[in-house]
Structure 1
Amino acid sequence: MVLWNPSIRKSVGMPVPSACDVHGFGVCPKTNDPKIVRIAFELNQTNYSMDQYAEVFTLSSGVWRRVLMNSPIISLDFPIGHHVVIGGVIYWVAHEYGQLSINIKGVIRSRIISFDLASEEFGEVDLPDSLAGPNYHLRISKLKESLVVLNYRKRYPGDQRVCDAWMMENGVSKYSFTKLFTFQDNSSNASEVGRMANR
């Protein structure tokens, strides 16, 4: 992996220990030290299951080190990989899988997971019920240093796709969301919403 700062025309290469589920990058607001956090899996030799863990790379130290993951975050799936950094905190969309019926497993809840670059602690954003349900199409972005969640859905069964835009009030200090607006999506697939979220 290479960190590149175009303003000073310098880059730093670093080894990535193994394959990982998701990355996040930001700058610690207390030390101004760039950090990369990675969430990865490794095989548990005892019961042959996959254990999830997190590591942080700081530019000043030049090494990866493990950090504690909260138990509710372990075993979540991070399907998008896209992240947003606001106020020294990294945010990702994650999915919790469970039993939908006797023989079917699927997404039972959508979550937004956070990582504080200063304290190096994971957390979770409390989503409104309309966003926290089994939703495959949440995207995140930011607007004026506030977290924005785009909820891609169909207004009615068989109807055209729409996208609800929600913004977290009071910046990142309080997990309270307000719906800003709903717009109609005339594209043919959900990837268009992902592109809109990243603009």
Structure 2
Amino acid sequence: MATLSSDIIPEILRRLGVKDLLRFRCVSKPWCSLIDGPDFIKLHLSHSLKTSTHLSLVLRDCYLFSVEFDSLKAAQKLNHPLSNEGFGTDILGSCNGLLALYNGEEEIALWNPSTRKSQMLPVTEIEFPPYFCFVQFIVYGLGHDLISDDYKLVRMAQFYGKDDDSFCSEVKVYSLRTNSWRRIKDFPFYLKYKRVYGVLANNALHWVVSKKPESDTQSFVVAFDLGTEEYRVVELPECLEEGFHMNVKSMGGSLCLIANYWEVHVVDIWVMKEYGVKESWAKLVSVKRSKVTSRFDFVLPLAISKNGDRVLLDIDNNKFVWYDLRSKKVKKVRIEGVPRAFEAEMLVESLVPLNGNGAMINKKDQGKEKQKKKNTKRYRLWKRLRKPGNRRRVAVLLSCEW
């Protein structure tokens, strides 16, 4: 051990997985200080992202599952810090090994599955604007601000207006560094899809939007810059044909555009090779229904293989296939223990700490708070809101409570 140079040790350790690194903290105090240090944490994360190592698929149905990307053999159930019997847990965003989780009971936590560290977020109320009584939907996005070296969770609430073409929004940003929420400039666009969190690429979160709900149905992509906290429109490829359903996704840190031509059963996947440069859009995949399966509704790109010749695709949130970029052929991927229906997201192992000023989750205290909340009128209304058909009616009551 004494023959190893102090410069060589970090180069060796950065290639290891988080599980091994946590064990090696016990080797010595210098090793523990090195592994826990911010410089090594960034070095390890950067190496994993550049080499596409220590990656896993996180699958969500009512539970959360993890699948090692290198093997894609079996899904392992994850014991995460937020539990909610009957409703499951939503993933609100992912970034650098962190997941933002929501359990349907107004509780949000940041969680690092690799280190098993978690932190509860403080509750922030929705500020209803005048004459807007209904929350149409709420979307989130998690990202890392490189300028301030801070992790931010963005929450956008969109409200119903007086007529079909009027809407309003409220945007708040949570800072892990300060463990607090603050309101920022309203989002001036109409969010097209609910239950879709912001797609993270190049230090920005992206959503598919339109200018108005009804009169203007043309879709485009808007980015929220995590550093400047400003909104900007992302230019799309000029050669797109008309009549497609638009979606966005991130793959390997690059922004992807999914154009789903339902009438002809074709899905084109574009990748922006140089972020912000319109001319850098390139068509990566074009999938026809007959080549994948007899029927599919949508296709989402997840990851590129290490040698760069195949793309892992999610088909209808119930199956995976490898798409060969050379032969244009597909091969089904069979993973043991995968739920019948799921939402899939790529995650990298990391040592990123959750060291804000907020309290760590204490299960005993958490149980007391849950019991206290269940005795409130607001909680009972929230449970009714979860049931189909009650949303609009209960939303009015909840707006009064808020």
Assess same fold via TM > 0.5.
yes
Correspondence for 1:175:
278
Tell me if structure 1 keeps the 8 A contact 2:167–2:190: no
What runs of 5+ residues in structure 2 fail to find an aligned partner?
1-107, 127-134, 301-313, 318-343, 346-402
Paired residue for 1:139, among 247, 263, 268? 247
Distance 1:173 1:58, change over 3 A: same
- Distance in 1 of aligned mates of 2:285 and 2:119: 42
- When residues 152 and 42 of structure 1 are mapped into structure 2, their CA distance, relative to the original with a 3 A threshold, is closer
Q: Distance in 1 between matches of 2:294 and 2:219?
A: 24
The runs of at least 4 aligned residues of structure 1 exceeding 6 Å deviation read none
C-alpha displacement of 1:11: 1.1
- Return closer, same or farther for 1:189/1:118 CA change in 2, 3 Å cut-off: same
Decide whether aligned partners of structure 1 residues 51 and 96 sit closer, same or farther in structure 2, where only a CA change above 3 A counts: closer
The change in CA–CA distance for 1:8 and 1:95 in structure 2 (over 3 A counts) is same
Matched residues, percent identical? Answer: 26
Offset, 1:106? 6.2
Aligned partner (choices 188, 195, 199) of residue 295 of structure 2: 188
The answer to which structure has the higher strand fraction is: 1
* 1:149 pairs with one of 257, 271, 274: 257
The match for 1:85 is 200
Moved more, 34-43 or 126-135: 126-135
SS for the counterpart of 1:27 is strand
Instruction: Report the Cα distance in structure 1 between the residues aligned to 2:168 and 2:212, rounded to whole angstroms.
Output: 15
Q: Distance in 1 between matches of 2:256 and 2:183?
A: 29
Whether the 8 Å contact between 2:191 and 2:207 is mirrored in structure 1 is no
- 2:110–2:118 CA contact under 8 A, matched in 1: yes
How far the C-alpha of 1:43 sits from its partner, in A, is 7.2
Please tell me the residue identity of whatever aligns with 1:151: A
What number of residue pairs does the alignment pair up? 180
d(CA) in 2 for partners of 1:187, 1:26: 37
* Distance change >3 Å, CA 129–CA 107, structure 1 → 2: farther
**How many Å apart are 1:107 and its aligned residue?**
5.7
Please tell me whether residue 117 in structure 1 is matched to residue 231 in structure 2.
no
Q: Which runs of 5+ in 1 are unaligned?
A: 99-104
Bigger shift: residues 28-37 or 172-181? 172-181
The correspondence for 1:68, drawn from 185, 189, 203, is: 185
- For the 8 Å contact 1:110–1:131, the answer to whether it is kept is no
Residue type at the aligned position of 1:12 = Q
Distance in 2 of aligned mates of 1:122 and 1:180: 27
**1:37 Cα offset (Å):** 0.7
Report the TM-score when normalising by structure 1.
Answer: 0.74
Larger helix share, 1 or 2: 2
Q: In 2, distance between residues paired with 1:165 and 1:50?
A: 31
Deviation of 1:113 after TM superposition, in Å, equals 1.3
Distance 1:140 1:75 in 2: 16
Secondary structure in 2 aligned to 1:66?
A: strand
* 2:112 is aligned with 1:5: yes
The aligned counterpart of 1:32 is: 149
1:41-56 matches, cutoff 5 A: 41-42=158-159, 50-56=167-173
- 5 Å-filtered alignment, 1:97-116, equals 97=212, 105=214, 108-116=217-225
With the length of structure 2 as denominator, give the TM-score of the two structures.
Answer: 0.40
CA contact (8 A) 1:83 1:140 kept: no
How far 1:84 moved relative to its partner? 2.0
- Which of the two has higher C-alpha Rg? 2
C-alpha distance 31-2 of structure 1, shift in aligned 2 (>3 A): same
Q: CA offsets, 1:117-138, max 9 Å, x none?
A: 1111111101135559664x22
